[in-house]
Amino acid sequence: MSAPEGTSRLSRQRIRSAWLFLAPMLIVLFIVAAWPLGRTIWFSFTDASLDLMSEAEFIGFRNYLEWVDFGDGEGAWYGLLADQRWWRSVWNTVVFATVSVTFETIFGLIIALVLHQQFAGRGLVRAAVLIPWAIPTIVSAKMWAWMMHDQFGILNDMFMALGLIAEPVAWTASPDTAMIAVLIVDIWKTTPFMALLILAGLQMVPEDIYEAARLDGVPPWRVFRKLTLPLIMPAVLVAVVFRALDALRVFDIVYVLTPNTDATRTMSVYARENLFDFDQFAYGSAASTVLFLVIALITITFIMATRMDLEGKRQ
Amino acid sequence: MTSLFRLTTALAGLAAMATGAIAEDLTIVHGSVGRDQEVLRKQLDAFEAETGHTVTIVSMPESTTDQFGQYRLWLAAQSADIDVYRLDVIWAPQLASHFIDLGPHVADIVDDFVPAAIESQTVDGKLVALPMFLGAPALYYRSDLLDQYGEAVPTTWQELTDTAGRIMAAERAAGNDGMFGFVFQGAAYEGLTCNAQEWIHSSGGGRIVEIDGAIEINNQAAADALSLAASWVGTIAPEGVLNYKEEDARGVFQSGNAVFMRNWNYAYALAAGEDSPVRGKFGVSILPAGPGGQSTATLGGWHLGVSRYSEHPEEAIELVRFLNNYENQKERAIVTSRPPTLNAVYADPDVAAEQEFIPLWKPVVDNALPRPSAATLRKYNEVSAAFWTAAHDTMSGNGTAEENLARLEGELRRLRGSGW
């Protein structure tokens, strides 16, 4: 194989047909992913407005950071990276993603373990558990908005009947509880998704390992810690990355459920507001670009930190 | 016989084309509140019967802020899907370039309209939208409760605070646990801008941005007005008011759980409706004022514009004219209690008999305070968002009124830059 031409005719042909087969997917990916992303990044370096996109002019990094001289010896930093509201949105998003994914993983794991057991009506329960995940987010957010309404909501009614609270709580309105309300709805909605992915991991674990453990008389908790958990870890980590990617770009729940305030505004809500509500298309593009970078950074860090096996080489 | 039939059909077709009487499919978009949708559909049915065109309604969420984002997107994409938009009174300067100049098409009737309404929709001499109905909010009060406790209709915000507190405490002591004193629109959206502008302007705190573009909002009168409003949350107003829009407030008031409500005119017809628990038990008055100010009502209203990207502009203009004719404005005034835009409807004896609110409200509508959309042009939405954020932060205990107004002033200066 060390001949000057390097590869045989056959393998050259194989490589050619491989590219040919990949081409449709690459073209589609370019159209739906790379091109819009590239456009967004380009717009973030211009002064584009939604009405006058064709007249956008390059202005460098001014949407990101700019020193504005007031002309009287004083000045201030402006731009996305100097915007308190933006950093508050980043903080909100990270808090939301961390808390929601943590709870969803724990609850998902518990539900998956239960659903993995043999019991009568398991098929029915498995289907029923998926219902929250199957409801479109906009519908469940609106549904919960009514359930959490301070005057007409059933949640306050139930809690008051149980004596848990003395006064109706304005779940979505008060800045103290707004983020909690969002988290409750998201955890309710997305736990089934985690449970499903973890359940798939559980079903991959061979039965004979458990049998051997049973014969050796290993107590159940040790079986879980030393056998089950390590064996399903790859599946759990993949599920966590999926969820984290999803949670970091959260928009719909926050937008529908809570008022547009600093308490819950996420990166996506911030970007949309600038893109469409305000006449700040370029600035919103800059926010979208940084959002993309933040998500990429967090995901890469997570994959490196957990030494996740993405190529399936390690066994 | 058949050939004769064919000939006549062909001739009929030609004639139809020559006169332009081809049935078209039109689309109108609006954000329905109260009975808007029902009345609009009924009037569109009449239009369809008269002209042979069909009209589809696209219905949007109640929040005007949400509507704007979607409309902006459609218009920027030059979508031909929507022919007629129902536009908020504040949008004309921001969206003017996307709409047909209706001026030449309504020259024969434009003088019948309320001049201020036409003026608000005219941008650089172009009539962006033909005014459909106006809005000037009222203080709704429970007349039965005021009588029962021997209280007068408040004329100042402080009186409102005290009266609401007293009646609420008495009602709660009597076992009515769900009773609140005052509900309004406190969610962080355009509606709060209207509410807060009224508190501040009526207390002598000036406008959000003055007519000449000056920024003078950071003053003591404005801070006092916001502080008083902040004191309502969790006392006379439910804490949930921080996420209330128009219909949330009406829900509380109409189910009998609030003494006072600030709301637009549409709520009158609904609260007086046959299925309303507060029917016959409430009245309306002008909004209270603060020390050193006069009662202020924000100018609202919704107006019909024809998209530049419409494929049937002529039919769309016909539709706009139809929806704003005397009969339809009169019907809307009676059924939805929306103040009309034709001067003559205010004097109509049927309207006065059926909906006494309308003629009573004419002076309030005439003196209503516009939001600074004309002064701030394309930056209005950001100005409004900065303003409602300052108000919402103050009410939710996130900084004092003074701190938030100082921050607002800085924010507005940054937005203005070298000029609006």
pLDDT tens digits for range A247-267 = 999 999 999 998 778 889 999
How much is the mean pLDDT over chain B?
91
Q: What local confidence, expressed as pLDDT, does residue B21 receive? A: 59
Distances (CA, A) of B101 to A313, B46, B83, B92, B104: 67, 26, 14, 11, 7
Instruction: Read off the pLDDT of each residue in B32-42 and give the average, rounded to a whole number.
Output: 91
Cα–Cα separations (whole angstroms), residue B294 to B200, B290, B291: 10, 7, 8
Distance CA B250, CA A233 (A): 52
Q: Phi and psi (nearest 5°) for A70?
A: -75, -5
Q: What is the pLDDT of residue B4?
A: 54
Mean pLDDT estimate for chain A: 89
Q: Closest to B243 (Cβ–Cβ): which among A50, A76, A173?
A: A173
Q: Which CATH class is domain B138-298+371-416?
A: alpha beta
Best CA proximity match to B179, nearest among B192, B170, B191? B170
The pLDDT of residue A309: 65
Nearest to B296 by CA among B236, B221, B246, B244: B221
Of A51, A53, A170, the CB nearest to B238: A170
- Give residue A1's pLDDT: 44
Which residue's entry shows tokens 């590239």?
A38
Taking the CA of residue B265 and the nearest CA in chain A, the distance in Å comes to 23
Stated pTM of the model: 0.83
Q: What whole-number distance in Å separates Cα of residue A287 and Cα of residue A275?
A: 9
Contacts of B73 in chain A (CB under 8 A): 50, 276
CA atoms in the 13 A half-sphere facing the CB of B1: 0
Structure tokens that stand for A169 in this block: 């709580």
Give residue limits of the domains in chain B.
23-135+299-366, 138-298+371-416
Strand, coil or helix: what is A61? coil
Which residue has better confidence, A175 or B265? B265
Q: Is the pLDDT of residue B7 over 60?
A: no
What is the CATH T-level fold of the domain B23-135+299-366, as seen in this structure? D-Maltodextrin-Binding Protein; domain 2 (3.40.190)
- Rounded to a whole number of angstroms, the distance from the CA of A192 to the nearest CA of chain B is 29
Q: CB contact, 8 Å: B97 with chain A? A: yes
Residue B180's closest CA among B145, B154, B151, B136? Answer: B145
pLDDT at position B252: 94
Q: How far apart are the first and last CA of chain A?
A: 30
Mean pLDDT of B139-147: 96
Yes or no: say if A247 and A71 are a contact pair by the CB < 8 Å rule. Answer: no
pLDDT for A310 equals 63
**Tens digit of each residue's pLDDT (9 = 90 or more) over B55-105:** 999 999 888 888 998 999 999 999 999 999 999 999 999 999 999 999 999
In the block, residue with structure tokens 């020559």: B18
Helical spans, DSSP H, in chain A: 9-29, 35-43, 84-116, 122-129, 131-134, 137-147, 154-161, 175-204, 207-216, 220-222, 229-248, 252-257, 267-272, 281-305
pLDDT of residue A77: 83
Q: Is B188 on the interface with A (CB under 8 A)?
A: yes
Of B9 and A94, more confident:
A94
User: Across chain A, which distance is largest between two alpha carbons, in Å?
Assistant: 84
Rounded-to-5 percentages of helix, strand, coil across chain B: 50, 15, 35
Mean pLDDT of B36-41: 94
In this prediction, residues A114-138 reach a mean pLDDT of 91
pLDDT of residue A166: 84
Q: d(Cα B222, Cα B201) in Å, to the nearest integer?
A: 8
The C-alpha of A283 sits at a distance from chain B's nearest C-alpha, in angstroms, of 13
- Whether the Cβ atoms of residue A243 and residue A235 lie closer than 8 Å to each other: no
B234: left (phi over 0), alpha (psi -120 to 50) or beta: left
Q: pLDDT digits over B290-345, tens only? A: 998 899 999 999 999 999 999 999 999 999 999 999 999 999 999 999 999 999 99
Burial (0-12, 13-18, 19+ Cβ within 10 Å), B130: buried
Contact A172 B244 (CB under 8 A): no
Q: How far apart are CA A76 and CA B197, in angstroms?
A: 29
**pLDDT confidence bin for B16, thresholds 50/70/90:** very low
At residue A150 the predicted structure's pLDDT band, cuts being 50, 70 and 90, is confident
| Residue A2 pLDDT greater than 50, yes or no | no
pLDDT at site B414: 84
Question: Could you tell me if B254 lies within 8 Å of chain A, comparing CB atoms?
Answer: no
Using CA atoms, how far apart are residues B233 and B64, in angstroms rounded to an integer? Answer: 23
Domains and CATH numbers, chain A: 86-305 (1.10.3720.10)
Using an 8 Å Cβ cutoff, are A133 and A188 in contact? no
Does B138-298+371-416 match B23-135+299-366 at the fold level?
A: yes
This complex has an ipTM of 0.76
pLDDT at A240: 92
- Best of B73, B307, B387, B396 to substitute, by most chain A Cβ atoms within 10 angstroms, is B396
Lowest mean per-residue pLDDT among A72-81, B80-89, B343-352, B369-378:
A72-81
> What chain A residue is nearest to B241 in terms of C-alpha separation?
A173
Of the pLDDT bands very low, low, confident and very high (cuts 50, 70, 90), residue B177 is confident
pLDDT for residue B15 is more than 80: no
| Tally of CB atoms within 10 A around A31 | 10
| Residue A20 pLDDT exceeds 90 | yes
Asked if A172 and B243 come within 8 Å (Cβ–Cβ), the reply is yes
Comparing CB atoms, the residue among A51, A169, A259 nearest residue B187 is A259
